[in-house]
Structure 1
Amino acid sequence: MTPPPSSYLDSNQCAILALWYEVNASLSAYHKLLSAFGGAQQAWEAGFEAWQALGIHAAHLARHKNKEQTSASIDRIEQALTAGQYQLIFADQSEFPAQLLQIYDPPPLLFCRGNINRLQQAQIAIVGSRKPTAHAQKTTFDIAQYLAQTGYVVTSGLAMGVDKQAHLGALAQTDSDYQGRTVGVMGTGIEVFYPNHHDKLFSQIIEQGGCIISELLPHTQPHKHTFPRRNRLVAGLSLATIVTEATIKSGSLITARLTSEQGKQVFALPSHIDNKNAEGCHHLIREGATLIYHPDQVISDVNVQLDFSTNQSSLTAPSKPSTPRRSSPQSAADKTSSVHSMPAHTSSPIKVPEHLSSIYGLLDWHGQDLDALLIASKLTAPQLISQLMELELLGAIDVQGGRYLRL
């Protein structure tokens, strides 16, 4: 018995979807059945005893025995597709992201909402803590905004904290050519909002031209096992992964490990040594991740990989990749000033005048007192106070408890 083709899905697609439903989106069971029977239709048509002989889980066997339930599930999905609630693309279709076919355990299909063309474009993942420091949130937002402005798509896992700031940073564009350059990978069914209060973020991504995907069946609820699966897709879609802040036990380290196992580069931002939230980044750097202080460093390295990738697949390169800034060694002052070009937390970045760049370069997001700045800058007190006042009027810095810090 073959699942009947519908007006939306052909017979082979129905068989793939039926099989995916009956194994409850189990990658191991799905690939075992395909390997044993040679295809989705043959596997779905095989009898209960044939599945049982392969050692298929009892819950999957029970679903396989109830063909009416399978057909009803396919009907519900087809109705949702016809109503435009979401899209469904299969691994043999041109719309399916080719880079996912290169990973060890590719999904046979993806449920999608939004602009699926984003899946074909060059992506860089940004991941990190669900409870990041204010500094990490701002840095994540700025890096994502910068990458999107240079033509890359920012991919993340739609979680709280760093993931959310990565998506929002990519969406913070006024130029229509760069709007919506983000892909969100879900650890739930395509219509399940998690966290619950992120429904506005999901809507914003879709409305502004981004894309949200899930390999899991509709209505799948969050579970501790679904998020590592999501992480492998985040890594698989992307040319590289940036970890902006993470603890040692963060799921972001799973994404970093998967990125490395897929032969791609991992980047990590350093922080001060007593920041417990950054211990994961420091561990990654010690284990061989590339330390970065500006997204141009990521772009420079990724462009080399992209030149190769675009010759091997249909991946679309950024329309306006930035020019790498690594042609010559930089002094400490040069390194600091290069960070100033990274966009601020708004669509109109603050431009620090050249005569203020030296003092601005001495400031951080933790704060410096006046005495320390006098020693470091070698300016007189009136000169220093005058420059700090200019920066404050520009909205580039703030004063909190007598300490000057960047905004």
Structure 2
Amino acid sequence: MTATLSTLSDNQRAILAIWYEVNASLSAYHKLVTAFGSAQQAWTAKAGAWQQLSIHHSHLKRHEEQQQTLDSINKIEAALNAKKYQLLFAEQAEFPTQLLQIFDPPPLLFCRGNAERLQQAQIAIVGSRKPTVHAQKTTFDMAQYLAQVGYVITSGLAMGVDKCAHFGALAQADPEYQGRTIGVMGTGIDVCYPNHHDHLFTQIVEQGGCLISELLPHTQPHKHTFPRRNRLVAGLGLATIVTEATIKSGSMITARLTSEQGKQVFAIPSHIDNSNAEGCHHLIREGATLIYHPQHVLDDVNVQLNTYPTQSGSRKPRQSADALPKSNTPHLNEGQQPSVASKTKVPEHLITVYEQLDWHGQDLDALLVSTELTPPQLIGQLMELELLGAISAQGGRYLRV
């Protein structure tokens, strides 16, 4: 775990002061620090110098009343000392390096829980706030599977798909793989939104995941704060999966930002008359990768684990080996791929058949072609898999459970 800051340095207090006085405005913050050369110089500058930079009048008023700024900093530092949350600055090694590569990086992050998750390989999963039952199950299964092979699942803590993604990542029997999820908040770190998600927030922190926010404590939800959250979700992940989304949704914003950052967007198709999945179909038409199993994500994303794309399109080595999935998770640089059945307790002689199955179902004719088994051999192995509870038969088709 990252040590909680009990005392802020002068530079960190200046960063926090500017962040408070511009009310977490990214454009104003970066304009001031760029113009004055540092947060400390910007904070000690007169309000008149700020005004010459066309800083908003409300920010100027806060800058003129610096006692309020100092009081706010003292309250935050008291909360840090009380271990209510942590505060990571972009200057620190613990700060997620991938966020330094986005167009408008945050100068700091408030964090609750295990901040080490931020340094580990992440895949973002986003989607509709009102998903179909099928999308809920697909999201949960995707997240659970990817977490089982060592990835951290990042999402935005919203209702629907986000919630399913977080719970899927948390649903691990093996303690080593529990808590592999990061929730990016569109509010202050101490504000639970949606209100009824307090159990989810608590479970993420207690099981070893973490919650982060770039916004100041007590910041309430607003329509402008959620696109900001989405850019962090996109920025943290190696790629983004959209499981179900309408055309006009925050998920489409996250997908666009992911693409703009030079990363891969995956989309799950649905029935053509499912208006709730119209966004996914649009993404696929525009070049997103169609997937229907998490192994497809692994096949494409694992090649990114040793390098990370920068804004310029060049590739930069990742900062820490902790970014790679740990334990017995295979690494691409070892020339291996995670086995589909590695966590499913499927006997070795049944793996070939099991790996040909998906969540939509395969009929016997298709399986005979793909496995090259005789009908008696195939039927016998399918019966074994059914008895193990690994697959089920529905309408003459065999699928994973």
SS of residue in 2 equivalent to 1:129: coil
Report what 1:317 is aligned to.
324
Gaps of 5+ in 2: 309-314, 369-378
Go from structure 1 to structure 2 and tell me whether the alpha carbon gap of 1:395 and 1:267 turns closer, same or farther (over 3 Å shift): closer
SS of residue in 1 equivalent to 2:265: strand
Q: State the one-letter code of the partner of 2:175.
A: S
In 1, Cα distance between equivalents of 2:131 and 2:392: 21
> 1:7-406 counterparts in 2 under 5 A?
8-309=7-308, 312-315=317-320, 316-319=323-326, 320-322=328-330, 341=341, 364=360, 394=389
Are 1:146 and 1:342, in contact at CA under 8 Å, matched by a contact in 2? no
* CA deviation vs aligned residue, 1:254-298 (integer Å, no higher than 9, x gap): 000000000111011111111111111110000000111211111
TM-score (norm 2): 0.83
Go from structure 1 to structure 2 and tell me whether the alpha carbon gap of 1:280 and 1:397 turns closer, same or farther (over 3 Å shift): same
Are 1:142 and 1:342, in contact at CA under 8 Å, matched by a contact in 2? no
In 2, Cα distance between equivalents of 1:181 and 1:192: 22
In 2, Cα distance between equivalents of 1:152 and 1:227: 24
* CA deviation vs aligned residue, 1:113-156 (integer Å, no higher than 9, x gap): 00000000111101111111111111111111111111111110
Q: Which moved more, 1:296-305 or 1:101-110?
A: 296-305
* Root mean square deviation of aligned Cα: 3.4
Go from structure 1 to structure 2 and tell me whether the alpha carbon gap of 1:118 and 1:362 turns closer, same or farther (over 3 Å shift): closer
Q: Report the alpha carbon displacement of residue 364 of structure 1 after superposing the two structures with TM.
A: 3.9
In 1, Cα distance between equivalents of 2:53 and 2:289: 44
TM-score (norm 1): 0.82
Q: Report the alpha carbon displacement of residue 59 of structure 1 after superposing the two structures with TM.
A: 1.0
Are 1:156 and 1:167, in contact at CA under 8 Å, matched by a contact in 2? yes
Go from structure 1 to structure 2 and tell me whether the alpha carbon gap of 1:340 and 1:37 turns closer, same or farther (over 3 Å shift): closer
In 2, Cα distance between equivalents of 1:200 and 1:288: 37
Go from structure 1 to structure 2 and tell me whether the alpha carbon gap of 1:349 and 1:393 turns closer, same or farther (over 3 Å shift): closer
Go from structure 1 to structure 2 and tell me whether the alpha carbon gap of 1:161 and 1:362 turns closer, same or farther (over 3 Å shift): closer
* CA deviation vs aligned residue, 1:160-204 (integer Å, no higher than 9, x gap): 111111111111112122111111100000010000010100000
In 1, Cα distance between equivalents of 2:120 and 2:283: 27
Are 1:362 and 1:376, in contact at CA under 8 Å, matched by a contact in 2? no
Q: State the one-letter code of the partner of 2:18.
A: L
In 2, Cα distance between equivalents of 1:186 and 1:362: 33
SS of residue in 2 equivalent to 1:242: strand
Q: State the one-letter code of the partner of 2:317.
A: Q
* CA deviation vs aligned residue, 1:356-404 (integer Å, no higher than 9, x gap): x79x959849xx9xxxx899999xxxxx9xx99x95995955989xx99
Q: State the one-letter code of the partner of 1:177.
A: E
Q: Which moved more, 1:238-247 or 1:300-309?
A: 300-309
Are 1:293 and 1:339, in contact at CA under 8 Å, matched by a contact in 2? no
Q: Report the alpha carbon displacement of residue 206 of structure 1 after superposing the two structures with TM.
A: 0.4
Go from structure 1 to structure 2 and tell me whether the alpha carbon gap of 1:7 and 1:155 turns closer, same or farther (over 3 Å shift): closer
Q: Report the alpha carbon displacement of residue 302 of structure 1 after superposing the two structures with TM.
A: 1.1
In 1, Cα distance between equivalents of 2:243 and 2:192: 24
Q: Report the alpha carbon displacement of residue 299 of structure 1 after superposing the two structures with TM.
A: 1.2
Report what 2:371 is aligned to.
none
SS of residue in 2 equivalent to 1:155: strand
Q: State the one-letter code of the partner of 1:60.
A: H
Q: Report the alpha carbon displacement of residue 83 of structure 1 after superposing the two structures with TM.
A: 0.4
